[in-house]
Structure formats: C-alpha cells, structure tokens
Chain A
Amino acid sequence: MAEVFEITDEVKAQFGVETAPWVYEVTTTSVRMYARGIGSTDPIHYDVDFAKSQGFRSIVAPLGYVGTPAFSPETNDATFGFPRRQGGARLNLPMKGLLDGGTETEYFDYICAGDTLVETSHLADVKVKGNMVFVTNESVFKNQATGQVVAKQRLTSIHLG
C-alpha cells in the first residue's frame, strides 16, 4: 500500500530551510492579555513595579506565550493569527484533517514586556505513521537588541491522509 506521504529527496532538501524573519513586539498589553487568557492571577504577569522588584526587566510573559504572533491584517492569517511568510519548506501534505500534535520550548532567558524578538522557522522533522504525517517545525527566537537566542520552540502538527 502506498504511503499517504513519501519522504522524497525533494522533501529532505527542505529540512533546515529558514523562513524570512518575523518580528514580535512583546508589549505589556499582550503579556497581560495572554495571562488573562490562561486564567493566571500571578502579579509577575501584570504589575510592572512588582516584576521589577523581583529582579525582572518588566512583567514576565507566561511560558506558553512564546510564539503568540504580532498581528497585521496584511500578513497574518485572519483566523489563526500566524504570519504568512516568505521562504521555508513547501510540502504537499495530505489535508483530510489537521491536529495539533505537541509543543516543546527550550528557554534560554525569560521573555519580558519591552523585548523585541526576531523569529525564524524551519522544517525539523517529518515522520509517516499509517495515514498520519507528523510534521515538526522549529522556531528560533532571538532578542533583537542583543542577538541572543532566548527560546527555541518545536511545534508538531499531524496531517491526516
């Protein structure tokens, strides 16, 4: 039986190909909105003076915040919010269904309001299991001011064929 997706040399050649960079402004408002969205009442996400008293630059973004896109109607998906960028992998994946498979983030620093992050993304892995194709993209977030990598995030989506 033919696989729902074949990992050809053409597919393999797309591993590691980076998208154009995307700039994320981490604002006090977006951090507070995200914290409110997850039901957190921790003042470290809301109160700038309190966060500074604890040694942080400003309010701290909740851990899940990384990857929350800055929205522009010209460049972002209207429903999901993610940026439509130039470059990166282009795979002809089966789309009978699409599921979120997992999220993993490696942190090298906390992300605080006032930071500006520059993200690039690349295809990191593709696996086929039965009628499911597991596609993992890795995003690398750098602090624009320092050039330091502050987080790496791997997102796995499951395409159903």
Chain B
Amino acid sequence: MAEQTYYEDVKEGQELPEIKIAPDKQQLVKFAAGSGDFNPLHFDEKFPMLKAMGIPDNITHGRFKYAQVGRAVFAFAGYKGRVKRFGVSYRGMDFINQTITVKGVVTAKRQEGGENIVELDVWTENDEGKKTTPGTAVVALPSRG
C-alpha cells in the first residue's frame, strides 16, 4: 500500500519509486494462469519455436511488463487518484530470471476541466539500461485543499 500522492507535492522531473522484479518460471506460470496466456514461449525452455526463432531463453510476456508498469502508475496515483490512460510499446525482449526495473518520471502537470492532471514517462529497463518497454501515462491526483 503506497502513500497517497497529492497534486501540490508533485514536481516536473520527479521520479517514481522503482519496482524491480526478476520473474522466474513459477512467476511466469502464475502470470499465464492469471492472464490466460499459456503460450509455451514464456515458460517451456524446450519449446521448439524458441530455437527456430534463435531466442536463447523463455521470453517474459509483454503483458507482464505492461502490468509491472501499471503497478508503478497505480501506486503513484494512490487509492484517491485515478489513472486515466497508460500505454507502452514492446521494443525489446526480456527473458526469464532477468531483472526488470520499472521507472518513471513526471513530465508535466496542469489543472484541466476541474482535474489535477499529471503526465508521466514510464518504462521498463533491463540490466544493461536499455528501455525495453517505453510508454506514457496520465493520472488525475487529489488535492490537499
């Protein structure tokens, strides 16, 4: 449970708390069960398509990474905020047991239509610092007033 973020306290350039996760096979199988996507590409190291595609190991689901970015955005909005939109592009593969770090930064804030709007750049990063899942988000935050 994250502490509530208030609009007045947010500054452009402010970084979101990071989330780190290194999904092992059990975690990716749990995600398969939760999401309904049982593509063996994600949890069976002997799946023939891996070799055929020249992929060295099981690939972390793109939607798993989307969900990790979603965790960070939801935590930033807090229970009193509201996530209005978020999206990502899948630009690079991440693999089983490799650490994914979710990062984000505030890019803009404004009051619009009676709402306190905050825009974010959000992404996942691999251990080499490459952004494999870049995206953006828009949230509405509560006011202290």
User: Roughly how many angstroms separate A35 CA and B33 CA in the complex, as a whole number?
Assistant: 11
User: Could you say which residues of chain A place their CB within 8 Å of the CB of B66?
Assistant: 64, 103
User: Could you say which residues of chain A place their CB within 8 Å of the CB of B37?
Assistant: 80-81
Which bucket holds chain B's interface residue count?
35 or more
Please classify the interface of chain A as helix (H, G, I), strand (E, B), loop, or mixed, using the class held by over half of its residues: mixed
Do A105 and B32 have beta carbons less than 8 Å apart? no
CB within 8 Å for A37 and B1 given contacts A101-B90, A103-B87: no
* Chain B, residue nearest A43 (CB): B1
Give the distance to chain B from A42, nearest Cβ to Cβ, in Å.
6
Give the distance to chain B from A102, nearest Cβ to Cβ, in Å.
4
CB within 8 Å for A107 and B35 given contacts A43-B1, A44-B1: no
User: Roughly how many angstroms separate A69 CA and B35 CA in the complex, as a whole number?
Assistant: 8
CB within 8 Å for A68 and B35 given contacts A38-B64, A42-B1, A102-B89: yes
Which bucket holds chain A's interface residue count?
35 or more
Within residues 7 to 49 of chain B, which ones have a CB less than 8 A from any CB in chain A? 21, 23, 27, 30-40
Q: Supply 12 further A-B pairs (C-beta < 8 A) apart from A34-B35, A42-B71.
A: A36-B30, A37-B33, A37-B67, A54-B79, A63-B67, A63-B86, A68-B34, A79-B39, A100-B63, A105-B85, A105-B86, A107-B82
- Name A's B-contacting residues (CB within 8 A): 30, 33-40, 42-44, 54-56, 62-65, 68-69, 71, 76, 79-82, 97, 99-107, 110, 154, 156
